[in-house]
């Protein structure tokens, strides 16, 4: 639904575009609410995942530092603690990324189904 008629009257104080009826106004408001809630849910998801990744990495590093014996156990001549720090964070990052990919897609699917119900 688009209003194509030119603006009339000398008012022009309102920044909002003129609409033909109150019903369209309400529809526009509802659409805006849906978009805002999409942005909020995507932001909440992104921040949660980022914090989760940071916390998991810190715990992993503390474990490497404080679990006894990791510096003295060797894997092919390299201390296990070095091997874990050198290779252990990457699987975590990939897993977190893949989980986010699905969750972000779900948020968008939910938005779509709401917006299409209009």
Partner 1 sequence: MNPAIGYTAIVAVALASALIGFYGLRVSRTTSDFYVASRTVRPWWNASAIGGEYLSAASFLGVAGLILLTGSSALWFPIGYTGGYLMLLLFVAAPLRRSGAYTIPDFTEARLESQWARRVTSLLVIVIGWFYIVPQLQGAALTVRITTGLPSWAGSLAVAVIVAVVVAAGGMRSITFVQAFQFWLKLTALAVPVIALLLVVGGGEPPAQLTPAEAFPASAGPGELDVYRTVSLMVALLLGTLGLPHVLVRFYTNPDGVAARRTTVIVLVLLSVFYLFPTVFGFLGRAFAPDLAASGEADALILLLPDRLVPGPLGDVLTTLVIAGAFAAFLSTSSGLVISLAGVISQDLLGGSVRGFRIAAIVSTIVPLIVALATESSGLAGSVGLVFAFTASTLCPILILGIWWRGLTSRGAIAGMLTGAVLSGAAILGGPLVAASAPLIAPFLEQPAAWTVPLAVIVTVTVSRLDRRGTPPGTDAFLTRLHVPER
Summarize as ranges the residues that interact with partner 1 (CB under 8 A).
15, 32, 35, 38-39, 42-43, 46, 49-50, 53, 57, 61, 64-66, 71, 74, 76-79, 81-82, 84-87, 89-91, 93-94, 96-98, 100-101, 104-105, 108, 111-112
Residue (of 57, 44, 43) closest to 95 by Cα position: 57
Q: Contact, 99 vs 49, CB < 8 A? A: yes
Supply the minimum distance, in Å, between the C-beta of residue 73 and partner 1: 11
**SS3 at position 115:** helix
Shortest distance (Å) from residue 23 CB to partner 1:
20
CB of 54 to partner 1, least distance (A): 9
Residue 17, phi then psi, degrees to nearest 5: -65, 150
As a whole number of angstroms, the distance between CA 110 and CA 88 comes to 34
Residue 3 CA from chain centroid, whole number: 34
Give the distance between the most distant pair of CA atoms in the chain.
84
Which CB atom, from 19 or from 82, has the smaller least distance to partner 1?
A: 82
Least distance in Å: CB of 45 to partner 1? 8
């Amino acid at each position: 639904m688009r209003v194509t008629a030119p603006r009339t009257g000398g008012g022009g104080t309102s920044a909002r575009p003129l609409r033909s009826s109150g019903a369209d106004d309400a529809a526009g408001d509802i659409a805006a609410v849906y978009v805002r809630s999409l942005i909020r849910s995507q932001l909440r998801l992104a921040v949660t995942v980022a914090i989760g990744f940071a916390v998991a990495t810190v715990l992993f590093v503390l474990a490497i530092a404080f679990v006894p014996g990791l510096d003295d156990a060797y894997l092919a001549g390299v201390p296990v603690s070095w091997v874990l720090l050198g290779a252990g964070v990457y699987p975590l990052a990939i897993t977190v990324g893949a989980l986010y990919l699905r969750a972000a897609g779900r948020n968008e699917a939910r938005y779509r189904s709401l917006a299409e119900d209009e």
